Amino acid sequence: RAELRRRGVYAPDGGPRLDALSDLVALGTVADVVKLDANNRLLVTQGLQRMRSGRLQPGLRALFAVAGREPRSANGFDLGFALGPRINAAGRLADMSLGIACLTTDDEAQALEMARELDNINRERRTIEAEMREQALAAMEAPDAASGATVCVFDPGWHQGVVGLVASRLKEKFWRPTLAFAPAGDDEIRGSGRSIPDVHLRDALDLVSKRHPNLIRKFGGHAMAAGLTLGKADFPAFAPAFDAAVRELTGRDTFEPVIETDGSLETGYANADVAGMLQQQVWGAGFAAPLFLDEFVVRNQRLVGEKHLKLSLERGHQRFDAIWFGHDQSLPEHIQAAYRLEQNVWNGMVSVQLVLEHAG
């Protein structure tokens, strides 16, 4: 605003109060996985402070309500994993204008009605995504499917708006650059890709287009994500061409994730107070939350929600509740685990919970 005043767009004391929009700026920054440099961290911090003080847009208040989250303790997780997916679900399955209308309305009742509709669409998106993911994993059980440097999957029954999410899940599971395709017309399929740090995805697609000039009809993207369109009949030829391009660019046919941690956490700091302090900070793309690495004894483990592993871990004389989201395989008695601290609130009681990201 100061710059616009200097240019004469506004009077010296005029112009809109842009700080009133800081909650929307924070949501957009986190949900779109924008790198959190110093300026963006400041913007997100101001937006979260506005939410915690109760001065948030009606649409955001409604989205917090349907997500079962509390604005007074808003954090980056809420924006990226509770509110963001509900807004994006409309664009994936229906019309993005519903999400925009929810964020921009000044009417509390209308905002709540639209937020409930977005929540229902997001539930539908989850169901579709789960079905597609299971089908993709079943396809990866074929003898040759898991032997390449890449993952490339297509199903004529898949939904175009969800293939990017499926590609992301498969990339995390198999740690390879992944492309997932769905029908996009009578003779076309459209794919969405996610990559790993070792492979520049757009460069790989560019190499395919040079080696096989008529194979890709159009493509675009960047190092970690891309989209492309193929003729439906060209998918069988594209998959090995993409795999060959990745091998040529990297000189490798296997990849292993590199897990960077902050080392061991002293037992005295593994408590709910420290977890709460960490949750109040701004973490995200380019500024990850602390990830600790320690050894534990697994005292108990069980599946919850059919896909998350709930554990009781012991370290020295301390016992911890822990959870590994999206992991359904049991662990051995002794493990080394990379984890984050999180506050767990249940029946008014606040405790620390370890959120596992890797273990072995």
Domain boundary among 127, 149, 177: 127
Same-domain status, 333 and 225: no
Whether the pLDDT of residue 231 is over 70: the answer is: yes
Number of folded domains that form the chain: 3
Could you tell me which residues come within 8 angstroms of residue 83 by beta carbon, excluding any fewer than 6 positions away?
A: 27, 31, 60, 63, 64, 67, 69
Secondary structure E strands in the chain: 151-154, 178-183, 188-194, 216-221, 225-231, 292-304, 308-315, 318-324, 334-346, 349-359
Same-domain status, 166 and 215: yes
Kindly give the residue spans of alpha helices, DSSP state H, lying in 105-212.
Answer: 108-139, 163-174, 201-211
Whether the pLDDT of residue 67 is over 80: the answer is: yes
Same-domain status, 123 and 223: no
C-alpha dist (Å) from residue 169 to 74, 77, 127 = 26, 18, 14
Higher pLDDT residue, 335 or 3? 335
Whether the pLDDT of residue 251 is over 90: the answer is: yes
Cα separation of 220 and 210, whole Å? 14
Q: Please indicate, yes or no, if residue 261 is contained in any of the structural domains.
A: no
pLDDT band at 328 (very low <50, low <70, confident <90, very high): confident
Mean pLDDT confidence for 118-131: 94
Under 8 Å between Cβ of 225 and 195:
yes
pLDDT band at 124 (very low <50, low <70, confident <90, very high): very high
Same-domain status, 119 and 11: yes
Same-domain status, 180 and 221: yes
Residue 278 is part of a domain; what is its CATH number? 2.40.50.460
Q: What is the pLDDT of residue 28?
A: 95
Same-domain status, 188 and 223: yes
Q: What is the pLDDT of residue 131?
A: 94
Segments forming the whole domain that contains residue 312: 267-359
Same-domain status, 204 and 179: yes
pLDDT tens figures, 160-191: 999 999 999 999 989 999 999 999 988 999 99
* Of 250, 245, 261, 255, the residue nearest 175 (C-alpha): 255
Same-domain status, 6 and 119: yes
Query: 178-183 and 151-154 as β-strands: parallel, antiparallel, unpaired?
Result: parallel
Cα torsion angle, 99, 283, 255, 339, sign = negative
Domain boundary among 104, 127, 150: 127
Same-domain status, 245 and 148: yes
Same-domain status, 81 and 121: yes
Same-domain status, 76 and 27: yes
Whether the pLDDT of residue 273 is over 70: the answer is: yes
Strand-pairing partners, residue 226, are 193, 221
- Mean pLDDT, rounded, of the chain: 93
Which tokens belong to 256? 């292993």
Under 8 Å between Cβ of 312 and 301:
yes
Cα separation of 54 and 47, whole Å? 11
Same-domain status, 240 and 147: yes
One DSSP character per residue, 93-112 reads: HS-THHHHHHHH---HHHHH
pLDDT band at 146 (very low <50, low <70, confident <90, very high): low
Whether the pLDDT of residue 94 is over 70: the answer is: yes
pLDDT band at 133 (very low <50, low <70, confident <90, very high): very high
CA dihedral 129, 132, 133, 137 (to 10 degrees): 180
pLDDT tens figures, 188-216: 999 999 999 999 999 999 999 999 999 99
